[in-house]
Structure 1
Amino acid sequence: MHSDDRGIPRRAFLKSAVAIGGASALAACAERDPEPVPAGTENPSSLPERQHAWQQFLAQDDAGNTIPPRHHVLLHLEYDGDSPTERERQTVEDALRSLERAYEFSNEGLVFTLGYSPSYFETLGGSPVGVDLPAPRALSDLEDPELDTPDAVVHLASDRAKVVLRAGQGLRGENDALNGEPMEAALTDAFTVADRRTGFVGAGLPADHQDTGGVPDSDPVPEDAPLYMGFKSTFEKSQATEDRVTIQSGPFEGGTTQHASHIDLNLQQWYEQDGREERVAKMFCPAHAESGAVEGVGENLGDSPQLDDCADAEDAAREKGVVGHSQKLESVRENDRPIILRRDFDSTDGGHAGVHFVSLQRSISDFVDTREAMNGGDVTERSAVGRRRNNGIRQYLSVTHRGNYLLPPRSARALPSPGGVDA
């Protein structure tokens, strides 16, 4: 682990700088990461029509799994107008294209999306045509989340902490140039920033930040774990493809829907009472725990959690008294792949270990179906497994926020009308 002369681990400092934000955090962050950032494209229109088409631009590991960017920011925005004008739309597009000219669209540069909520479209007189985008709601009677209703949300992601900080400043009108390129406009010329949420994912980052609420004082998070719960989750074959989550027709063809929830993690029992086998059984399945199939954080599993060796969820619940989180989700697959694409990341927002669960899907109903499978209703009706106890990882999660958004295609991302930008 790299440290400077102040003894602070470099990766820990960079994560903290993103969370803090502000000019002083950026200056210190840039001092710790002086390497240049790859420049963007002179022709932003050459980028894919799908805003969410990140896969081809991100790094992959030796097994072919996409490696998520390490640093993330979610900016919640409120639209300042009543009905978008062409001037406002041009302002928004100029701000976004400025980012694309400044930074390479990659994990070493910056990847980002801009999405709009049901509340935004309702203000304009309707719902987005051809898109399943209901208002957010609680998805279990065991949760009571705050329902997020900002007009829009920007998701910024990069391996470089200074990039998400600078990009955020540029969008807020606090930086006239990024990476040598002028900011032609700011999103705050059309929006007001309502909230800023941050997070991280990647080996070492959770371990560096386990001195927070929800994690035992014993520093139990493995050094090589990419997430607080100690296992990797972004296996290629446990993700929907970008094609599967893309809207196929209508004025928003080429877009997708996004669900963004925040979940508090309560890991005292997970690490202090549950043993290694219990954690594997609850995260994957009891058969994996018995066979020792999962080594370390799960890198040995390659591009799949290898659930073919796991019993049916209901059988496991009846026979073993526990059912795995991944095991339950096997019931919501299409062509042997999930129907949602996860881009979640951990967080210490609010001084508590948590997860910003960001998922993409063709329709919000796909996310709801997946969440219902995670709830495990059929399993609890036919076994001794409780609604929380031994029911995957449910007892360790508390949902605090939920929000739904439409990520339009690039050509319609600037303040779209319910029928598309030109409607």
Structure 2
Amino acid sequence: MNGSDRGLSRRAFVRSAVAIGGASALAACLQREETEDVPQATRAPEELPDRQHAWNDFLATDDHGNVEPPEHHLLLGLEYVGDGPAAADGERERLEAAFRTLERAYERGNDGLAFTIGYGPTYFDRFDEELPESVDLPAPEALAPIEDPRLDEYDALLHLASDHGHVTLSVEEALKGELDDLNGITVEDTFDGIFDVAERRTGFIGPGLPAERQSGVSGIPDGEPVPEDAPMFMGFKSGFRKTQASEDRVTIRDGPFAGGTTIHLSKIQLHLHQWYEQDSRDQRVAKMFSPTHAEDDLVEGAGDNLGDSSRVAEVGGSAADDARNEGTVGHAQKAARAREDGEPIILRRDFDSTDDGQAAVHFLSLQRSIADFVTTRREMTGTDLTEGSVSSRTNNGILQYLTVRSRANYLVPPRGRRALPEANPD
């Protein structure tokens, strides 16, 4: 990373360092980023919410109240290295001490660190007890006839997020036992000898970040077509406050894992040559939002003018009618059908990626049960709309531009049970 980084902006360089990982990448990242302003925690770990996924009150928001997620994301697929049921020889206490080190070292939020750890079905299979009935955590599976994903079987998933790339890298190195000090706090313990990192995935989200990373990336045509203000590769804003489930809605209510949630994680490869080279701006708006959005010119730029809602429920009209009469149905139109009492049922925390030089989305969603994600995904697929309505898959939202490469499901316990939980603690 010496010499070859001279033409990179600071932000692009940092994202490259996060993607590479390791001690040398961390050292290079520390030379480029301002590190003295990263705040230590202002409250003790025991004063934090019991919900691991309670991020929103600690994250930045825009002028419309939409949550602005951290810029840098790191996903670590973890394998438990022990035999039989987990948490032998004080492992649970060691892991909890490691997590509390993170919570003391960094203020929770964009400027510091937000993180969660979840556990997959294969982790819980090692126990004699079954998960309680209040937890819906099936093994991952393909969710549409058009996909053939890899089904991940990692024991755990650690999600790290920060506006500072060196924070995610430092946390990774500290947890592996490679750092003694983390932002001025002594590292109490690590997951060395408890977890091995089986896979690392990285990503980013925010205005201007995809445009900086588009050059030479597979799946994006030459000419740098991604708009400079776009927060994601497809050119439009997502995560509007009124199209997201609340953290309350995605929280498990009963049983020993009350206060937890579930994660569904997909890696989705992007194919944007037609999107940018053949489709017009109006066609892209129609496929992302609805035909009405395109006809009435409702979307300016990336869509910041829409405020706190995609406005699909307000002006989008019937997805079935548009499929039949317009030959096009919008992605947001389809997703809006997956609501209960008028409210969304999943909370998206997805972000773009250029891992392996390929444009992709790590689609990470939180929901009370995996069944809620399956319901939402079924509506997004819109198979019912294509039967005699949309003449080709091309006009069925954005499906044509996406290939699902992997799927995984995880249980995110409450903080009090986040360190190697038993399958049924009660």
Fold in common (TM above 0.5): yes
Within the candidate set 182, 186, 211, 1:182 is matched to: 186
The CA deviation at 1:329 is 1.4
> Which residue pairs with 1:73 in the alignment?
74
Structure 1 vs Structure 2: percent identity of aligned residues?
59
> Which of the residues 299, 303, 307 maps onto 1:302?
307
Hey, what does 1:369 align to over in structure 2? Answer: 375
Aligned residues: 417
Aligned pair 1:326/2:332, yes or no?
Answer: yes
Question: Could you tell me whether the CA contact under 8 Å between 2:390 and 2:396 is conserved in 1?
Answer: no
Matched residue type, 1:24: S
In structure 2, what is the equivalent of residue 162 of structure 1? Answer: 166
Write out per-residue CA displacement over residues 279-324 of structure 1, whole angstroms, 9 at most, x where no aligned residue: 0000000000001000000000000001111110000011100000
* 1:41–1:102 contact (8 Å) kept in structure 2: no
- 1:59 deviates by 0.1
Match of 2:24 in 1: 24
- Asked whether 1:109 is paired with 2:112, we answer yes
After TM superposition, list the pairs within 5 Å mapping 1:374-413 onto structure 2. 374-386=380-392, 388-413=393-418
2 CA distance for matches of 1:217 and 1:126?
Answer: 54
Query: Which residue identity is paired with 2:359?
Result: A
Q: Distance in 1 between matches of 2:348 and 2:361?
A: 12
Could you tell me whether the CA contact under 8 Å between 2:5 and 2:13 is conserved in 1?
Answer: no
1:5–1:268 distance in 2 versus 1, CA, 3 Å: closer
**Post-superposition offset of 1:42:** 5.6
Report if aligned partners of 1:314, 1:382 keep a CA contact under 8 Å in 2: no
Residue in 1 aligned with 2:41?
A: 40
Aligned with 1:241 (options 246, 250, 272): 246
8 Å Cα contact 2:17-2:26 kept in structure 1: yes
SS in 1 for 2:94: helix
Match of 1:275 in 2: 280
Q: Is residue 15–residue 205 contact of structure 1 (8 Å, CA) maintained in 2?
A: no
Q: Which runs of 5+ in 2 are unaligned?
A: none
Partner of 1:355: 361
Q: Measure, in 1, the Cα distance between the counterparts of 2:341 and 2:238.
A: 20
Q: TM-score, with normalisation over the residues of structure 2? A: 0.96
In the TM superposition, what is the alpha-carbon distance from 1:8 to its structure 2 partner? 1.9
Q: Matched residue of 2:68: which SS?
A: coil
**Matched letter for residue 13 of structure 1:** F
Question: In structure 1, how many angstroms separate the alpha carbons of the residues matched to 2:301 and 2:92?
Answer: 49
SS at match of 2:153: coil
- Distance in 1 between residues matched to 2:181 and 2:43, nearest whole Å: 15
Task: Give the deviation of 1:5 after TM superposition.
Answer: 10
Contact 1:340 1:359 in 2 (8 A): yes
Shift of the alpha carbon at 1:210? 0.7
- C-alpha displacement at 1:7, in angstroms? 3.6
Contact 1:127 1:133 in 2 (8 A): no
Quote how far apart the aligned CAs of 1:382 are. 4.0
Name the CA distance, whole Å, in 1 between partners of 2:121 and 2:177.
Answer: 26
Structure 1: 5+ residue runs without aligned partners?
A: none
Residue 139 of structure 1: aligned partner: 143
Deviations 1:57-114 (A, max 9, x none): 0000001000010000001111112222361100110110010010111110000000
RMSD of the TM alignment (CA)? 1.3
CA contact (8 A) 1:113 1:407 kept: yes
SS of 1:244's equivalent in the other structure is coil
* Greater alpha carbon shift after TM alignment, 181-190 vs 59-68: 181-190
Conserved in 2, the CA contact under 8 Å of 1:170 and 1:186?
A: yes
SS of the equivalent of 1:414 reads coil
Identify the range of structure 1 (293-302 vs 42-51) with the bigger mean alpha-carbon deviation. 42-51
